[in-house]
Structure 1
Amino acid sequence: MLYLSQQTSLLFGVVKAIVIMTTATALAFLLERWLLPSSGTVLLILAGVIVTALSVPNRIAYGAVVFGAMAFNFLFTEPRGSWHMQDVEEISTMTVFFAIGIVVVYLITRERLQRFSLQDAELRSTILLSLSHDLRSPLTSIIGNLSTFQLYQHKIDKAQQDELIDAAMVESERLHTYLENLFQATRFEHGIVNLSTQSTPLVPLVQRVIERFANQEEISLSIEDSALNGVVEVQTSLFEQALYNLFDNALRYRKDNTPVLCRIGVSASGFWLSITNEVANPLNETPTTWLKPFYSSRRGDQGHGGAGLGLSVAHSIILAHHGRLAFNTDQTSLQVRVDLP
C-alpha cells in the first residue's frame, strides 16, 4: 500500500510538472508572436521551472529544466522545429538558462530539505516530551502502588491491598492504551494498514467498549429502535480502539460530575453514533487542531493534556473504515459524531 501511494504521488508530480512547463512554454510561444525577445521567452520558461520546483519532488524538477531547454531549442531557435542551433547568442542563452535552472532547483530543494529537517526535529522533540510525560506518569504510579503493596501487604487490610492493586491496574490500562495509540499512529503515518473487516453488531460493540471503563455508570447510552440490530463492516479490535479513545477523551475533559451521553441511530447512508459531554473550560482550539498527531493542550510538563494521539488515531481508524468524524461545539458542550456506512 505504501509503495502504491508513493507511485501515485510520483505520477501526479510528473503530470503536474508537464502541465506547468507546457503552460509556460505555450505562453512564451504566444507572446513571442507579439515580438517578445528571446530573453523574454527564456524568462517565462524559467518561471515555469521555478513553479515546478516549488510544487514537485526535486528529481522531477530537474527534468523540468531539461524539458525547458529542449523546448527553447526546438521552438525558439533557428532553424525552428529542429534540434540544431546556429546562433552563438541563442546557444549562450540556452546554456545560461540551463545553468540557472539547475541552480534554482538545487536551492529550492535545499531549502525544502532544511524546512523538513526542522519540522522533523520539532516532531521528534514533541514525541520525546510526550513519551517522557505519558510513559513516566503511569509507570511511576504502577511502581509506587506495587512497591507499597510488596512492602506493607502484611500491615494493611484486604481493602487497602485491593485499592493498591486496582490503582496499578488502572494505570496499566492507561499505559497500554497510550502504547497502542502510538503503535497505530505509526502504522497510519507510514500507510501500513490492511483492514480485515467482518460484519459486527454495532450496539454490543459499543457496550463492550463502555464496559472497559471503571466509571462506566457515568456514560449514558441511548439507542434508537431502528439501530438495535444494526450491523457494520469493521475490523473489531481497531474500531473498538477508536471508540475507546473517543469515550476516554469525553470522560477526561468533561465538567466534573456530569455524564457523558452516547446515542446511536440510523442515517440515510448507514449508522451514526454521537458522544456528548459538558466541557470544563471554554473551547479555544478548532476541532481540526485536535486531530493533529501529538497535539496537546499541555504545554511542556504543565497542564493536564494528554499525548495528543487519541483523537488523531480515532480519526484515522474511522476514515480507514470509510466513515466520517465530525465535531459540534459550543461554549458549554462538545459532541463528537461518527457516521458509518
Structure 2
Amino acid sequence: MTQFKHGFYTLFIMASAILGCLALSHWFLPLGGILLILQLACAIVALTTSRFYGLLAGLAGALSFNYFFTAPLYSFQIAEIEDSINFVVFILVAILMSELAVYVNAQQHALQVVKTQSRILRSVSHDLRTPLSTIIGSVETYTTYQDKLEEIEKKALLQGVYDEGKRLYIYVENLLQATRIEHNALVLNLTRINLTSLLASIESRINNRRLKVVNISSSECITASESLFEQALFNVIDNALTFSDDAVSLTVSKTDTKFEFEIQDTGKGLSKEQLKAPFQLFQTSRSSDSGKGGIGLGLSVTAGIVHAHQGDIKLVNTTPGLRVCISMPIRD
C-alpha cells in the first residue's frame, strides 16, 4: 500500500473501533472490553501496515480511550491511578505490536525470497534443459561424425545449435526482466517509436512466415520503452507460434485513448487452471519433462512490462486458440 492508503486504512480501522466502542459503552461494555477492542484495532494496523502507523494507531487508541471512556469524560486529564496504568500499558502494547509487525514483515519478505528462488530453479530446470540437451547432442554428433556427414546434414546440425542458442538467449533475457519485475526494479526509458519499424524488427526476430501482421498506419507512433515493449510483443508472438501449427495474426488498432495489439493463434488455448493465474512469475504448468508444457515465463514478463507502462493485458480462449489483447495508453 502507498503512504496515502496506509494513512486512510489506519484512520478507517481506528475510527471504526472507537465508534464501535462508543456504541457498545452504552450497553455497559466494561472498560476492559473497550481496551481489548482498541488494542485489537492497533494490532491489525501494526500487522498490516508498518511500525510508524502501528505506533500512530496506538497513540490514537490511548488518547481516545482516555478522552471518551475514563473519568473525567471528554478530557485528557487522568483522575485514577488505574486509568494511568491502562494508558501506559496501552502505549507499551502498541510499541510491542509495532515491533512484532516489523519482525513478521521481515519474515514474510524472507519467505517470499525463498519462494522466488524456488520458482526460478523450477523454471530454469524445465526451460533450459531441452535447448541445452539439443545443443550438446548436436555438437557431439557433429564432432563425432563430421567426416561421415553430408554437407546438408552439417548445416542442419549447426542451424539447430544456432536456433537453440537464440532460444537460450531469449529465455535468459526474460529471466533477467522477470527478476527485475519481481523486485520492482524495472526501468522504463520512454521514447516515441514508429509502429512500422517496431513491427518490422519483431518480424525480423521471429522470421516465421506463419506470422501475419495487420498494422493501422505506417506513420503511427507509440510512446514506450522500445527494447522492453518489443520484448513483450515478441514473447506473446513466440508463445503463439510455439503452441499453434497454423498462422498467427498480429492486429494493431487505435482508439482515442489507447493502442490495441491482438495476437490470435489456433492452438489449444489455456485450461481453466491456467486462466486463474496466467501471469504468475516463474511458474510452469508442465506436468512432466515431455511435451511443450504450459504458457511459460514469457507471458509473465510481458504482463509485467505492459503493466509498468500503465497498460493492460487479457487472455481470451477462442474456438480454436487463444487471443492475447494488449492495450497501451496513448501518451503526449
How far apart are the structure 2 equivalents of 1:275 and 1:288? 20
Distance 1:129 1:34 in 2: 58
2:33 to 40, 58, 65: 40
Could you say if the C-alpha distance between residues 300 and 51 of structure 1 is closer, same or farther in structure 2, counting changes exceeding 3 Å?
A: farther
> Does the CA contact (< 8 Å) of 1:292 and 1:312 recur in 2?
yes
Residue equivalent to 1:61: 54
Structure 2 residue corresponding to 1:246, chosen from 219, 228, 236: 236
User: What secondary structure, in the 3-state scheme, does the structure 2 residue paired with 1:271 have?
Assistant: strand
The DSSP-based 3-state class of the residue aligned with 1:12 is helix
Aligned partner of 1:156 among 149, 157, 160? 149
Does structure 1 residue 266 correspond to structure 2 residue 259? no
Quickly say closer, same or farther: Cα 1:320–1:96, change in 2 above 3 A.
closer
1:206 to 199, 206, 213: 199
Helix, strand or coil for the counterpart of 2:213? strand
- 1:1-341 alignment to 2 at 5 Å? 9-33=2-26, 35-94=28-87, 97-98=90-91, 117-214=110-207, 216-223=208-215, 226-254=216-244, 257-280=245-268, 283-285=271-273, 287=275, 289-299=277-287, 301=289, 303-305=291-293, 308-340=296-328, 341=330
Percent identity (aligned): 30
Distance 1:46 1:297 in 2: 44
The letter of the residue matching 1:29 is L
Q: What is the TM-score normalised by the length of structure 2?
A: 0.85
Q: CA deviation at 1:253?
A: 1.6
Partners of 2:185 and 2:119 in 1: how far apart? 23
Distance 2:15 2:203 in 1: 58
In 2, Cα distance between equivalents of 1:241 and 1:18: 43
**1:284 to 1:27, Cα distance in 2 relative to 1, 3 A:** closer
| Gaps in structure 1 of 5+ consecutive residues | 1-7
Q: Which shows bigger deviation, 201-210 or 297-306?
A: 297-306
Letter in 1 for 2:209: E
SS at match of 1:261: strand
User: Which stretch has the larger CA shift, 311-320 or 49-58?
Assistant: 49-58
Aligned equivalent of 1:3: none
In the alignment, the residues of structure 2 paired with residue 70 and residue 233 of structure 1 have an alpha-carbon distance, to the nearest angstrom, of 52
Question: Is the CA contact (8 Å cut-off) linking 1:294 and 1:307 kept in structure 2?
Answer: no
CA apart distance, 1:188: 2.2
CA distance in 1, matches of 2:246, 2:311: 29
Q: What do the CA deviations read for 1:24-47 (whole angstroms, capped 9, x no partner)?
A: 224323543555432232233123
Q: Which runs of 5+ in 2 are unaligned?
A: none
CA distance in 2, matches of 1:115, 1:176: 33
Distance 1:321 1:45 in 2: 42
Query: 1:167: Cα distance to partner?
Result: 0.6
Determine the C-alpha separation between the residues in 2 that align with 1:229 and 1:333.
31
Q: Structure 2: how far apart are the matches of 1:115 and 1:232?
A: 39
Question: Displacement, 1:56?
Answer: 1.5
Which deviates more from structure 2 when the two are superposed, residues 150-159 or residues 79-88?
Answer: 79-88
1:268 is paired with a residue of what secondary structure?
Answer: coil
Q: Is the 8 A contact 2:123 2:282 kept in 1?
A: yes
- Cα drift, residue 10 of structure 1: 4.1
Q: How far apart, in 2, do the equivalents of 1:210 and 1:317 lie?
A: 20
Paired with 1:158 and 1:302, the residues of 2 have a C-alpha distance of: 31
Q: Report SS of the residue matched to 1:85.
A: coil
- Superposed CA deviations along residues 247-283 of structure 1, whole A, max 9, x for unmatched, are 11101122xx321122223333343221111123663
Aligned residues: 329
- Judging changes above 3 Å, is the alpha-carbon distance between structure 1 residues 130 and 10 closer, same or farther for their aligned structure 2 residues? same
Cα deviation, residue 92, structure 1: 4.4
User: Once the 2 structures are TM-superposed, how far is the Cα of residue 333 of structure 1 from its aligned partner?
Assistant: 1.9
Residues 237 and 324 (structure 1), Cα distance of their counterparts in 2 relative to 1, 3 Å cut:
same
- In structure 2, do the counterparts of structure 1 residues 301 and 109 end up closer, same or farther at CA, with 3 Å as the change threshold? farther
1:113-149 per-position Cα deviation (integer Å, ceiling 9, x unaligned): 6555545433322211212232233223223323333
